[in-house]
Amino acid sequence: MRDNALAKAEFLGGPFMNRSHVLMFLLTLALSGGAFAQAPPPADTYYAFRPRAVTELKEVQQEIVSLAEAMPPEKYAWRPAEGVRSVGEVYLHMAAGNFGLTAMAGAPPSPGFKFPGYEKSTTDKAQIVDQLNKSFEYAENGIGNLSDADLLKPLKFQQFTSVGDMILHIVAHAHEHLGQSIAYARMNGVVPPWTAAQQQRRGQSSPSPRPPQD
């Protein structure tokens, strides 16, 4: 029981709570009464950050892969302006973020992955879709296998100071470029598959038009 309380105290305090603070916490816990000391923590006092991050990545994976599959192969080289990533390069940039940033967060590196030149490594649609799937599966497994204690480990990369910061960035990075890819698809006359499905369902159930839900 003491070990569980100690672990909880260290998790709540993070890097700012030293051992003396932890011991004081345990003493207060013991003096507060047996019933309180033995009661399990309420379910709503803990947020399952890692599982939520994995769920978010799975949702992005489903949408970006379906969008990549809907894009015609000849559009993979399309770019909105000179010097801007093409359709295929955006997809590979997302995959690179999943592979590279997840490894920086503490997951074992993905064999064969290297940042330099990765975004321009192929223009083949099938290969790019395959890399998207592999990168998301790698990130989801890598984050899922981390412990809660791992989230507090220090990490110095750009503005990030902990593994938890990096995981949050991985999720945000995926969503950012999903939005970019939706814009690219729309500019090329491709309706996101999930929006097309929603429009079809609405057309069958109601004659009144509604705005698309990209």
Q: pLDDT of the chain along its 214 residues, tens only?
A: 444 443 443 434 444 344 444 444 444 444 444 444 445 555 556 688 999 999 999 999 999 999 999 999 999 999 999 999 999 999 999 999 999 999 999 999 999 899 999 999 999 999 999 999 999 999 999 999 999 999 999 998 888 899 999 999 999 999 999 999 999 999 999 999 999 999 888 886 544 445 556 7
**What pLDDT does 25 receive?**
47
CB 49 within 8 A of CB 164: yes
- Residue ranges, comma separated, of all CATH 1.20.120.450 domains in the chain are 49-205
Which residue has 């305090």 as its token pair? 13
Distance in angstroms (rounded) separating the CA atoms of residues 123 and 118: 11
- Return the CA Rg of the chain: 23
Which residue has 């480990």 as its token pair? 153
CB 66 within 8 A of CB 106: no
Residues in contact with 126: Cβ distance below 8 Å, sequence separation at least 6, in sequence order: none
Taking Cα atoms as reference points, which of 153, 45, 148 lies closest to residue 105? 153
CB 78 within 8 A of CB 86: yes
Q: Return the H-helix or E-strand segment holding 161.
A: strand 160-162
Q: Which two tokens stand for residue 25?
A: 């916490």
Q: Which two tokens stand for residue 204?
A: 């069958």
What is the CATH architecture of 49-205?
Up-down Bundle (1.20)
| Amino acid symbol at 103 | A
Q: What is the pTM of this model?
A: 0.74
CA distances from 98 to 136, 177, 188 (A): 6, 12, 26
CB 76 within 8 A of CB 191: no
**What pLDDT does 44 receive?**
57
